[in-house]
Amino acid sequence: MKCAEIRDLILVGYADKELGRLSMGRIKRHLLKCKHCRRFEVLMLKNVVSPFRHADPVTPPSGVWHNISTIIYEHHEKAQRFLDNIKDDLDSIFSHPVAVTVMTVALVFILVFGVILRPLPVEMQLVNGYLAEQEEFLRIADTGKEVYLGTATEDFIIQGNFFISR
């Protein structure tokens, strides 16, 4: 791991031992080798962690938890109303046969032209071209005629660079 990654992990969970066993081990091994990260750890423990470990517990005012739960409930209700509106809109759209037919045709169109008939990736075009060459070679070779297709392999053999040692 790089020093920047180690320092990030030291900040987010190493001092509190909230990281997994594997991450803790990696950090400890790195700290054994890297004096800069050891210095960072010491400074972080002294200036960031230690003051909070010795601080008195803080009790929030009694209304804080009520206010938090109210806000959460309001956001939940707002999200639920939004989803209910979407559901109602979809129900009204799908209750009309014409709308369902139009959407079905559009979906089929998208599938056919966007997925099924999309252009092949370059690799597949190369493979298909190679297979077509091989098919052509085998078709001509079946006739018993001498064939030259101009491939690199043929050129190699014709130039006499191909020897079989016995």
From 61-70, 71-80, 107-116, 137-146, the region with the lowest mean pLDDT: 137-146
Question: Does the predicted model carry a pTM greater than 0.85?
Answer: no
Question: What are the b/e assignments for 60-76, b being 16+ CB within 10 Å?
Answer: eeeeeeeeeeeeeeeee
What pLDDT, in 10s, does the model give residues 28-84? Answer: 999 999 999 999 989 888 888 888 777 888 888 888 888 999 999 999 999 999 999
Which residues, including other chains, have CB under 8 Å from residue 14's CB and lie 6 or more apart? 23, 24, 27, 41
